[in-house]
Amino acid sequence: MSDTTLTHAAGERGKTGRRPVLTLALTSERPLEPGVRLDLRDVDVVEVGRGARREVAASEVDGERRLRLSWPDGWMSSRHLRLVRVMGSWVLEDLRSKNGTRLDGAPVERAALSDGALIECGHSFLVFRSVPDVPRDAVIEEGPDRVGALATFHVPFGRELARLAAVAPTDVPVLLCGETGTGTEVAARAVHERSGRAGAFVAVNCGALPASLVEAELFGSRKGAYTGADAEREGLVRAARAGTLFLDEVGDLPLPAQPALLRVLQEREVVPVGATRAERVDFRLVSATHRDLAALGAEERFRADLHARLAGFTLSLPPLRARAEDLGLLVAELLGRAGAPSPVRLEHEAARALLRHAWPLNVRELDRALAAALALAGGEPIGLEHLPAELGAAR
């Protein structure tokens, strides 16, 4: 089975205002295999156990709608656990499995599930979510929600990605907000890919621009315009003509340069330093920041009118700690990017540590941890000893 979302037609059972979702996020012995997401709005019981292959089977017994989720995991029992809807809530029951079930790291026989619950059975990990519901047709969808290289099983983030995909082909400026390492440049490139623009994707780290040369870097300059200007410079804005200009860490843009950028965005023309004539420019604007631009504006450190120009559509990228169901997707992608052999394995303690770590630096931190672990493991299963020491405390 490939990545799958199984959705049942909404009936009386689904009318709770909440959407229960169960995601098989990661199997430690098969980290490159895709996950599976189940929509439980119209389901009464979910049975989980070991199977010869990945399979989701639906049935109805005496009016009770059931799902059976199974996959290969030698540490699971054939009937390992079940989830039962009880008065609108969900309860986990271990079915006397050989190796037991853990809920949020602790052994459990029976317990109510809350949003974000991490369920450990055998060498596999499931994430339970209860999120605000929205009307949706009964469909079977292949794959997680995806825009470009961004993919997610996290339902609220998936809804935001759908909105981003709708905005991408337009000229509406996009402002991406999120902590360091959440993937703002990946999102910006996804917008560029869907924009249909033939020009280049030009990324600018506003925090790295020399304060004395910001305008020359952005808008270009004529030869001799200032000391050291021994050649004409195109500038990053003109380099993005017919393409996308990505202003990363735009909250770090020096205040003196902000009026000039605002004028470029308003007039769609640029005056290189030392020039007397404006040049028309056509580019798509995407910006990103980990700062609160409204708060910076209240402190008069960022222009409110520039903020308004940047924020035609705002997307907040959630931190990795808020989307545990996506960890398997990311592990598979990052291990593949790092050249992991197939098959590659994670020792169970290592997989548990990956899922329980808070990842303060988000996907960037996960990427570096996995690349280093893969090298240290030397072709053997990745163990806890191959991961950064701070992950040991998360078990």
* Mean predicted confidence (pLDDT) in 1-14: 50
- Give pLDDT, residue 61: 87
* Mean predicted confidence (pLDDT) in 217-245: 74
Per-residue 3-state assignment (H helix, E strand, C coil) for 226-255: CCCCCCCECCHHHHCCCCEEEEECHHHCCH
Structure tokens at 263: 């004028």
- Give pLDDT, residue 123: 97
Q: What is the mean pLDDT of the chain?
A: 88
- Give pLDDT, residue 8: 45
Reported as a pLDDT band with limits 50, 70 and 90, residue 211 is: confident
More confident residue, 28 or 279: 28
- Give pLDDT, residue 51: 95
> In the predicted model, is pLDDT for residue 243 greater than 90?
yes
Q: What is the C-alpha to C-alpha distance for residues 82 and 95, in angstroms, rounded to an integer?
A: 7
Angle at 389 between CA 384 and CA 395, to 5 degrees: 55
Reported as a pLDDT band with limits 50, 70 and 90, residue 381 is: very high
> In the predicted model, is pLDDT for residue 6 greater than 70?
no
Complete DSSP assignment for 341-384: -SS--B-HHHHHHHHH---TTHHHHHHHHHHHHHHHHTTSPB-G
- Phi and psi (nearest 5°) for 249? 50, 50
> In the predicted model, is pLDDT for residue 9 greater than 60?
no
Crossing angle of helices 348-356 and 327-337, in 10° steps, is 120
- Give pLDDT, residue 235: 80
- Give pLDDT, residue 210: 78
- Give pLDDT, residue 142: 47
Number of helices (H) and strands (E), helices first, in the chain?
A: 10, 23
Lowest mean pLDDT among 225-229, 351-355, 374-378, 380-384: 225-229
Structure tokens at 182: 């959440």
- 230 C-beta neighbours (distance < 10 Å), count: 7
Cβ atoms of residues 35 and 325 within 8 Å: yes
- Give pLDDT, residue 222: 63
Q: 3-class SS at 333? A: helix
- Give pLDDT, residue 141: 39
User: Per residue in 92-132, pLDDT tens?
Assistant: 999 999 999 999 999 999 999 999 999 999 999 999 999 88
- Give pLDDT, residue 270: 83
> In the predicted model, is pLDDT for residue 18 greater than 90?
no
- Give pLDDT, residue 276: 66
User: Per residue in 300-345, pLDDT tens?
Assistant: 999 999 999 999 999 999 999 999 999 999 999 999 999 888 889 9
Q: How far is CA 312 from the centre of its chain?
A: 21
> In the predicted model, is pLDDT for residue 169 greater than 80?
yes
> In the predicted model, is pLDDT for residue 259 greater than 50?
yes
**Does residue 343 have a cis peptide bond before it, meaning omega lies within 30 degrees of 0?**
yes
Crossing angle of helices 184-195 and 155-167, in 10° steps, is 40
Query: CA nearest 94: which of 128, 48, 45, 52?
Result: 48
Question: From the CA atom positions of the chain, what is the Rg in Å?
Answer: 25
**Highest mean pLDDT out of 171-175, 214-218, 342-346:** 171-175
Structure tokens at 373: 């672990």
Q: Where are the alpha helices (DSSP H) in 196-302?
A: 214-219, 236-239, 258-267, 293-298
Single-letter amino acid code for the residue at 198:
A
Q: Name, in order, each residue with C-beta under 8 angstroms of 300's C-beta and a sequence gap of 6 or more.
A: none
Q: What is the C-alpha to C-alpha distance for residues 238 and 244, in angstroms, rounded to an integer?
A: 10
Q: Which residue has the tokens 């979702």?
A: 21
Structure tokens at 124: 């596999």
